Structure 1
Amino acid sequence: MLWKKRKIVYVFFISVLILFLILVKTKSRRYSAIKWPAANNIVIYNRIPKTGSTTFTNAIAYDLYKENEFNVLHVNMTKNRQVMSLPDQYTFINNVTTWTERLPAFYHGHVAFVDFQRFGVANPIYINIIREPLERLLSHYYFLRYGDNYRIGLKRSRAGNNETFDECYARSGKDCDMKQMWMQIPYFCGHYLFCTEVGNPDALKMAKQNAIEKYLLVGTTARMRDTIALLEVTVPHFFKGALSHFDSLDANRSHLRYTKKKIAPNDQTLSMIRRNEVYKMEREFYDFVSDLFDAVFKKATNGTSKAESLVNMPLQYHFEKIKPT
């Protein structure tokens, strides 16, 4: 009799254990069944202010999304911050990679590089465009005072202040401080603390490394058309027809946002800026990226360096000795 009772108890506990294991296995399968969407269905353009990003985003992304069947989403950073907290980075990555209803997706916004790989996820396709650093700063300086042709009626924060960049620099004003030039390096460096430390050499090193390893392509404002052409042949599911569309635009749309009035700095100001360490670092980064782009473009065009060559360029490889036949 005692044996029968023990047998019932044993059977009961074994049954509970088996049921528990089944539930755990089922739960793990349910979570493992969640697949990260293919990274090539996501393009992130972490656009830098005053580099022609409005032209690119509006004239290319927002013009082509219907034809090429992708979604365009703007990442709006609170109070114009360019960095996210670590928890926000996690939720951003989770949202971007699991929002399947919005795939394929083109994300754009003024935000520093977010490294998905830190969270165990494949990085999406990162692209960007940079500008000669002094040109970018001058454009921003006069934009604050005179606005641009994009939002004509909008009053800018320095409207009515007609102080030239030379005058500002001579009195060490805030708007022309070289700290304001520390922009493109932090955008590529990412979310580490040292990235925002003005003049930090580690930030320059990280920015270069990310430009090489994390970005598919980084073009320049001066070579916008070449950048668009190269994107068309490397990411066709997003940029098919981009070059011909860009060429068809009138001057206002192909240069959508330009500062109404800019006054070139004098030789004395230029001489002082070129000796500044922040300018030297930002210029070094610009030249580094520009040289990378030039090499990629020449290789892709087989030495012609003509955007039109990319569309009709024959493949420079073929398959052979295929077994079994």
Structure 2
Amino acid sequence: MQAWLCTTPTGVDALQWTELPTPEPGAGEVLVEIKAASLNFPDLLIVQGKYQIKPPLPFVPGSEFAGVVRAVGAGVRQLQVGQHVACLSGTGGFGTHVIAPAAACVPLPADFPLVDAAAFIMTYATSHHALIDRAQLAAGETVLVLGAAGGVGTAAIQIAKAAGARVIAAASSDEKCALCASLGADATINYGAADLREALKAATGGKGPDVVYDPVGGALAEPAFRSIAWRGRYLVVGFAAGPIPALPWNLALLKGASLVGVFWGDFARREPQANAAMMATLLEWYRQGKIKPVIDCTMELSQLPTAYARMGSRAVMGKLVLTR
């Protein structure tokens, strides 16, 4: 097998395309031949040594992938050789093969495109857990999605619309706002050109959004929280902008608002049955056409450094997927 190997977490330039022995699965594991792997923001942080999870060196980055089971280890009953699966294992995706825990692999219908499958779990599971479970989003409520043209943002728009909510999509350019409108957003805000608070007042008649979905953090967090509706829920999803904001706590008091943490990975670990039920719902929604990953572009796996550069420049709309 071959893979992009990180021997020192100093950045993308330190990755090397390396030939490695093809491993054999142990008990409870499967060997997956990778056909597609998506690039997520944590994949950039992890090779820079900035992610909260720091795998032992050396490691193969790539958190999310889809492919074909080529071998199964002892005790694996739910998967068979030749089966198509998607997996979010944290590492290992940027190679030709990977050993994955069988329990982490989602069996796919035969007609589920592997490019879509590689771009599915992280964004849709995060967004569904955030909006439906943590925020308890109700039909008719208004959701503000920050960073709405990114992977989790585009998933959040689709899930909020499937739940019957009104969606205000906020992004950093007119091009990104146009993408959000094409996905069903009821209103858009280009926060690169407009004052976020004033635009939200206009879009909500002064009421503010009931739910704020924030994977961005940084300077947008405080004006968004100041704009939230009474009894609003502010979902802390991530910090793509870099800085972790420090919010004045009196804002939560004055608005009767909740600051709600979203950590889908630990939800999946702590509540596996609830997570499995959620994934079944998402697969059914995909089958029904309610949700579909937005694919920015596909690149060959050999182009991983170029893919990282595109993500680092914040040019990606939806998900970037590497194929082989």
The structure whose residues are more often strand, as a share, is 2
Asked which structure has the greater CA Rg, the reply is: 1
Same-fold call, TM > 0.5?
no
The structure whose residues are more often helix, as a share, is 1
Please give the range of the TM-score, normalised by the shorter of the 2 chains: under 0.3
Higher relative contact order (CA 8 A, sep 6+): 1
